[in-house]
């Protein structure tokens, strides 16, 4: 049975490439990040599914209200196909992408994907387009091979992953779509070897500081409060305090320590001769489960209040917090099933471990549903200019998912 499935998946390579290009030509960027959302991409995905003429499937669109979306809602698409068992294999990918960033750093239009040699280039082709397409064509491959899935299949194509899932999986989890005995795969992290199965994630903790001072002409700084200087001071003190206090290590994770990174800073004034009266900057923190986020917040809050007192500026703090969940056991059924398929397709011995966090898996782990994160993907290209994927990885992921659907442990 293996050869039939693998040959079937390999024969679909050209169609997979064309489908990935079609989908990634649509800029499905969150309306909370300067885009118009995922509606057009969901519609195109539904067209591709119809063209594949898959048998015995049902499609359902779930909506989450979002007043910033042009349609007033965010869409996610679910495909189900019955198998020999009622127990389901669920593969969740996300349809949204991050913005292109600095377009001058790209050698192509980010939303006009191109094939160059063995690779496809374009925004979203790696994160998360390759695995989205691979999961769909895995089902096509086993049907073309004349095989009934061992497990019932649920393919979820979900919105809003890149901005925290507030208009995607988080509210959808409360609608009874998923079951306690589901086998859940989230193909949203991996490496070039394809041998890493993620079973644990750090907490994701994001801090946004808004410093409000008093804008004045740069020749009269004593008459104002320089929000840029206050922000510099605050960022330095928060950075130093968090990194010096929370030094715990856990070798399950890569890296094996918490990270507290100042990342984004918003534009302030339009001219160099203006002392800014407002400054906004953010930290992205990936925190080990053994570190108390409440204790870390107390450290930050103490610094915020102290800098506010010393400078006379007003400092507002907004927090986006996603706590760590209990890890998935490497002995869980879904982990064994995935590991067996990886061995057969890639000829490597899988290892398990933890990452910085930020995938769909955390929502399932919090509910006690084991979930694993895996894909063969090009390391370090997600969210970067000239994002790319290897065509061979697209096919290999489809092969692994197809073997899992067939119950080939």
128 by Cβ neighbours in 10 Å (0-12 / 13-18 / 19+) ranks as buried
Q: What angle do CA 127, 64, 131 make, to 5 degrees?
A: 20
Backbone angles phi, psi at 11, to 5 degrees: -70, -15
Asked if 175 and 191 count as a contact pair (C-beta separation under 8 A), the reply is no
Instruction: Provide the strand spans (E) within 4-57.
Output: none
Q: Which of 161, 188, 279, 390 is catalytic?
A: 161
The H or E element spanning position 307 is helix 293-311
CA 123 to chain centre: 14
Coil, strand or helix: which one is 10? helix
Q: Is 161 a catalytic residue?
A: yes
Rounded to whole angstroms, the maximal C-alpha distance in the chain is 79
Asked if 45 and 23 count as a contact pair (C-beta separation under 8 A), the reply is yes
The one-character DSSP state at 174 is G
CA 81 to chain centre: 25
Q: Which of 96, 150, 188, 387 is catalytic?
A: 96
**Rounded distance, CA 42 to CA 113, Å?**
18
**Rounded distance, CA 324 to CA 322, Å?**
7
Q: Is 96 a catalytic residue?
A: yes
**Rounded distance, CA 266 to CA 280, Å?**
6
The H or E element spanning position 47 is helix 39-52
**Rounded distance, CA 48 to CA 133, Å?**
10
Asked if 187 and 397 count as a contact pair (C-beta separation under 8 A), the reply is yes
At which residue do the structure tokens 């899992």 appear? 404
Asked if 85 and 151 count as a contact pair (C-beta separation under 8 A), the reply is yes
**Rounded distance, CA 320 to CA 73, Å?**
22
Which residue numbers are catalytic? 96, 161
């Amino acid at each position: 049975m293996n050869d039939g499935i693998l040959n079937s998946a390999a024969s679909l390579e050209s169609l997979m490439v064309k489908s990935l290009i079609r989908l990634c030509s649509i800029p499905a960027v969150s309306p909370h990040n300067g885009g118009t959302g995922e509606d057009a991409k969901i519609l195109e995905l539904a067209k591709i599914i119809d063209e594949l003429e898959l048998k015995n499937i049902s499609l359902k669109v779930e909506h989450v209200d979002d007043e910033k979306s042009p349609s007033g809602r965010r869409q996610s698409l679910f495909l189900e196909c019955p198998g020999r068992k009622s127990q389901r294999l669920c593969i969740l990918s996300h349809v949204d992408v991050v913005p292109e960033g600095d377009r001058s750093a790209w050698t192509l239009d980010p939303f006009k994907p191109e094939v160059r040699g063995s690779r496809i280039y374009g925004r979203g082709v790696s994160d998360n387009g390759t695995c989205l397409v691979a999961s769909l064509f895995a089902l096509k491959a086993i049907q073309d091979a004349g095989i009934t899935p061992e497990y019932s299949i649920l393919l979820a194509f979900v919105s809003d992953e890149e901005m925290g899932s507030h208009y995607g999986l988080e509210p959808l989890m409360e609608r009874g779509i998923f079951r306690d005995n589901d086998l859940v795969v989230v193909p949203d992290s991996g490496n070039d070897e394809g041998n890493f199965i993620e079973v644990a994630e750090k907490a994701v903790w994001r801090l946004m500081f808004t410093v409000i001072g008093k804008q004045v002409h740069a020749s009269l700084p004593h008459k104002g409060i320089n929000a840029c200087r206050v922000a510099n001071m605050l960022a330095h003190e928060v950075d130093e305090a968090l990194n010096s206090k929370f030094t715990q290590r856990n070798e399950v994770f890569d890296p094996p320590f918490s990270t507290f990174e100042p990342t984004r800073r918003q534009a302030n004034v339009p001219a160099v001769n203006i002392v800014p009266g407002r400054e906004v900057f953010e930290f992205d923190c990936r925190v080990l489960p053994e570190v108390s986020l409440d204790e870390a917040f107390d450290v930050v809050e103490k610094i915020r209040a102290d800098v506010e007192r010393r400078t006379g500026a007003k400092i507002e703090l907004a927090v986006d917090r996603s706590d760590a969940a209990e890890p998935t056991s490497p002995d869980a059924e879904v982990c064994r099933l995935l590991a067996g398929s990886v061995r057969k397709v890639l000829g490597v011995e899988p290892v398990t471990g933890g990452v910085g966090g930020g995938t769909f898996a955390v929502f399932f782990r919090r509910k006690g549903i084991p979930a694993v994160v895996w894909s063969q993907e090009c390391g370090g290209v997600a969210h970067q200019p000239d994002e790319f994927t290897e065509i061979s990885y697209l096919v290999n992921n489809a092969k692994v998912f197809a073997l899992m659907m067939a119950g080939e442990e």
